[in-house]
Amino acid sequence: MADPRLLADLQKAEGCRLVAYRDINGFWSLGYGHFLDQSIDWTGQEWTLDTARQTLALDVDGAAHDAASLPEWSQLDTPCRQNAVIELVFNMGLHTWTTFKLTRAAIQAQDWQAAHDNLLIGPWQSEVGPARSQRLAGYLLSGSYSP
């Protein structure tokens, strides 16, 4: 079961759209950033808020499972840092997260300053916006939620 704080952060960051839409990269999505089968035209497809919330919980469980399989997982010493990596895997997918070699190496070394700094480099930050990227980098740096 997903951490309520993680779900709240994702709901705020993703927003909820109950009619299918194309995301910033042109991919069909629905609800809280749920990635849809791209071979189908989803125009006009709608969900209820309950369906969006249930799907988010399932997607977060999948991202958590993927994140826990990573070599850096054992070095994430607080729930906040674990949630940051789960959210990163949720947002970009496991494959793309594995390309963040400098950030992942810094996490493995528990060099939280380098993890923070490296996460803020590259195109991902411009895709999700400064508030989300800085929030997640801050979670890695501090290991705790700001008040």
What would the pLDDT profile of 71-114 be if each residue is shown by its tens digit? 999 999 999 999 999 999 999 899 999 999 999 999 999 999 99
Q: For residue 147, what pLDDT is reported?
A: 64
Show Cβ contacts of residue 26 under 8 Å, excluding neighbours closer than 6 positions.
none
- State the first-to-last Cα distance of the chain, in angstroms, to the nearest integer: 24
pLDDT-based confidence at 25, cuts 50/70/90?
confident
Among left, alpha and beta (phi > 0; psi -120 to 50; other), residue 44 is left
How many structural domains are present in the chain?
Answer: 1
113 lies in some domain:
yes
What would the pLDDT profile of 105-118 be if each residue is shown by its tens digit? 999 999 999 999 99
120 lies in some domain:
yes
The rounded distance, in Å, linking the Cα atoms of 107 and 128 is 21
Boundaries of domain holding 84: 4-142
DSSP annotation of 46? B
pTM of the model as a whole: 0.93
pLDDT over 80 (residue 123): no
97 lies in some domain:
yes
147 lies in some domain:
no
Write the CATH number for 135.
Answer: 1.10.530.40
Q: For residue 112, which phi and psi values (nearest 5 degrees)?
A: -70, -30
